[in-house]
Structure 1
């Protein structure tokens, strides 16, 4: 049903509906709220219209309509990376762009923007192949790739953006372009790392790896005793420095509430949790993990597993969440950093909540120039820190302050940078977005923004304003 109180002229809305093969939804229509929602519930969208695109032509028509109407474009598949509300925007939902084909001889896959990584993992596994996915099978493929994509096997293979062969992208002029190293290479570079600033990516061709199994799992150590927790964390950091590139890992410090929804053995407790992913053989993986086992984990799930089950190591939440997400890139961590981190999960220390302070080990292939250049870089950092903290409305301020406290206490190890794929709603200000890139890359991105989106149509995102002759053209 058309809402005649909409801020868009109803005659324009009717004309848009005539252009779209998929669904066109307005405020008040059945399905409008569901189509414009997403995994991260802390950001609420109030678009003028939602286009549930059936194909690339629908996306192009919606972009042209927005340009003619002078309205911004927002794009979303699963909503894991929502940043700013899409108020008054033409909102393009890509969840029905579900193309998926695997070429086992070429070791490639063609994937539509509506897919989630779990679907691609399963399809590739049928041929003994693997995509470079992250920790969650529920995350949408295109938001992950355009943010660079930090795989669980990143130290071995680099960013997922390294392994993108081509992208199909609808730019601000409403044209569908196929970009690659040989076709509009500058736009291909910018779209891998520049997120949704350069258009709506509707499909991608990616490399697949001949990887059937990995050695991986998690080790849980009790963290209530600060001395023991510091020993475990310090031992992990020393261990990580010595690992080959085939070993990727992370460590999480958790201080869990005494909540009935948690298993009884976890309620009200603190833990140091180490996760490992090794791309070599099982025997060598077990040898490399042995020093961690010698620390006496309370829980140990490490072993050989099919690659298609790799996301089970992290057990990321599948259902939508109210959460506050933050990240930073850190230098190498010393004994003082260990002391600071452990104090955050010490049960005798007031404050919190601190349910998940994770450090993902970088280096290896992540720190080398990629074969297919893109706008993503660790900027030489040793670890990615990121936090996912439950933030119901009544606790939102307390949770944000708790996250601020963590980052303030770790300031001396903070590089001042972050990764574009780990920018969240707190990072929507332009100066924070700029931290995700080297200065040279940011200036190149801003200049390309001025070339491909001079009227700033794609600004409902972690925005890179157009930049010309050293000055931003619009904000």
Structure 2
């Protein structure tokens, strides 16, 4: 049994072991059905704590798991050390260079707020509650995907504690190969303690959501699917079909409703935006209209993703193409009359600028899909073991004719088996990533 006393004495931060009450406090998964129970949890106060923890894990031969916000956890950690990075939270914006230098435990919300003061915006995800680093190393797809590409395309530099316990600067002037790997290589590349990201000038943002009542008509969803096939290159949309429970905690306009929520983002002048999005308002009778000029600091309001932890059952995939038959298939799964225990299905229209980079500049892997889809099971843990896996397998089989054979890193389901990995990165990219991992983590200290 590992004695953690020596490590605790070397830390500025804190260390809790399994024999202490609530030893995982501050390092829990966002999905509350996942319950971590590692041997120890380290709450790093600074980069030196990270170095000490990595060196200890390497010397003792114990696995090391990283935790920032808990959004990336898909399986429980039952041994080793969880290294919590929430204490490494900071943002410094350089408006002249149009960059933000960000601590490794920072959430996007802090970066968005700081950048917005200068009329700048990071390429963030739909939820600004997620961690910056986890989003970037997994590629990162958000509401500006078509106009600005993957989030990882905007990663300029990083400070990394390697699996050998050394601090490395990943940048064009420093370790360029490690920078390449961090731009979409996901796991096993080191502990990122700081990143520098490029910010974009966004003088105005026209964004929000149009809601359509599916019980009244399913035509708006079908027409939107048609619209995406010729959509403007810099307008990003995502469509969510969702059943809102008939509960008092739901806002009255949503309570008990079965809606098609069309999320829209256009980084440009209002006049152009109104012209470009006019066809979307004409898809059908709009039930609620929350689309218009939006302050950059409020970008998370586009999708209003949950900010509080809760139980969840989610599966993602990429979609190669869509047509009317695809729209009908989706409606058969989650439209009016469906009895599957699926709360919602989101289809994101991507492509556009996401296809601009190449394996020479990043490790994202495949960029040949036009859409992503996410299926949300009813958040009832009693259904998670058998009922929801069957329902989602049925949904995936139904959508198979349109699905891409490839995945994108942040859409990979755990566990990361060989089949999933091969669908996420081409063989040449995998080989190059493995070489980077062998260089910087020769003993396999960092969990893959």
Structure 2 residue 168 is the aligned partner of structure 1 residue 180? no
Residue 290 of structure 1: which of 278, 284, 301 is its match? Answer: 278
Residue 56 of structure 1: which of 47, 51, 60 is its match? Answer: 47
Call closer, same or farther: CA 1:372–1:314 in 2, change over 3 Å: farther
Structure 2 residue 69 is the aligned partner of structure 1 residue 81? no
Provide the C-alpha distance between the structure 1 equivalents of 2:96 and 2:245, rounded to a whole number of angstroms. 50
Offset, 1:370: 5.5
Provide the C-alpha distance between the structure 2 equivalents of 1:260 and 1:419, rounded to a whole number of angstroms. 37
Offset, 1:377: 4.2
Offset, 1:30: 4.9
The SS at the match of 1:54 is coil
Call closer, same or farther: CA 1:72–1:178 in 2, change over 3 Å: same
Structure 1 range deviating more: 211-220 or 358-367: 211-220
Give the structure 1 partner of residue 86 of structure 2.
Answer: 95
Residue 347 of structure 1: which of 329, 336, 342 is its match? Answer: 336
Provide the C-alpha distance between the structure 2 equivalents of 1:124 and 1:30, rounded to a whole number of angstroms. 40
Residue 318 of structure 2: which of 308, 329, 344 is its match? Answer: 329
**Count of aligned pairs between the two proteins:** 446
Offset, 1:156: 1.0
Asked whether the equivalents of residues 219 and 299 of structure 1 are also in contact (C-alpha less than 8 Å), the reply is yes
**In the TM superposition, what whole-angstrom CA distance separates every residue of 1:204-227 from its partner, at most 9, and x where no partner exists?**
0111112243001111111125xx
Call closer, same or farther: CA 1:371–1:378 in 2, change over 3 Å: closer
The SS at the match of 2:342 is coil
Residue 62 of structure 2: which of 32, 51, 71 is its match? Answer: 71
Asked whether the equivalents of residues 81 and 423 of structure 1 are also in contact (C-alpha less than 8 Å), the reply is no
**In the TM superposition, what whole-angstrom CA distance separates every residue of 1:259-293 from its partner, at most 9, and x where no partner exists?**
44323443443222211100111111111111111
Offset, 1:326: 1.0
Give unpaired runs (5+ residues) of structure 2.
none
Provide the C-alpha distance between the structure 1 equivalents of 2:378 and 2:413, rounded to a whole number of angstroms. 14
Offset, 1:446: 2.4
Provide the C-alpha distance between the structure 1 equivalents of 2:94 and 2:71, rounded to a whole number of angstroms. 28
Structure 2 residue 430 is the aligned partner of structure 1 residue 439? no
Call closer, same or farther: CA 1:370–1:127 in 2, change over 3 Å: farther
**In the TM superposition, what whole-angstrom CA distance separates every residue of 1:283-339 from its partner, at most 9, and x where no partner exists?**
111111111111221111110111111111110001002101211111111121111
**In the TM superposition, what whole-angstrom CA distance separates every residue of 1:327-380 from its partner, at most 9, and x where no partner exists?**
111111112111110112333233x22222111111111012269811114531
Give the structure 2 partner of residue 467 of structure 1.
Answer: none
Would you identify which runs of 4 or more consecutive aligned residues in structure 1 move more than 4 Å?
none
The SS at the match of 1:344 is helix
**Normalising to structure 2: TM-score of the pair?**
0.95
Asked whether the equivalents of residues 75 and 196 of structure 1 are also in contact (C-alpha less than 8 Å), the reply is no
Structure 2 residue 297 is the aligned partner of structure 1 residue 302? no
Q: How does 1:152-171 map to 2 (within 5 A)?
A: 152-171=143-162
Provide the C-alpha distance between the structure 1 equivalents of 2:228 and 2:354, rounded to a whole number of angstroms. 15
Structure 2 residue 93 is the aligned partner of structure 1 residue 116? no
Give unpaired runs (5+ residues) of structure 1.
1-7, 464-475
Structure 2 residue 412 is the aligned partner of structure 1 residue 423? yes
**Normalising to structure 1: TM-score of the pair?**
0.90
Structure 2 residue 402 is the aligned partner of structure 1 residue 413? yes
Give the structure 2 partner of residue 452 of structure 1.
Answer: 440
Provide the C-alpha distance between the structure 2 equivalents of 1:348 and 1:244, rounded to a whole number of angstroms. 33
Residue 135 of structure 1: which of 126, 130, 133 is its match? Answer: 126
Offset, 1:58: 0.6
Provide the C-alpha distance between the structure 2 equivalents of 1:155 and 1:386, rounded to a whole number of angstroms. 18
Asked whether the equivalents of residues 329 and 415 of structure 1 are also in contact (C-alpha less than 8 Å), the reply is yes
User: RMSD across aligned C-alpha pairs, in angstroms?
Assistant: 1.8
The SS at the match of 1:36 is coil
Structure 1 range deviating more: 21-30 or 113-122: 21-30
Asked whether the equivalents of residues 81 and 424 of structure 1 are also in contact (C-alpha less than 8 Å), the reply is no
Call closer, same or farther: CA 1:287–1:336 in 2, change over 3 Å: same
Call closer, same or farther: CA 1:34–1:372 in 2, change over 3 Å: farther
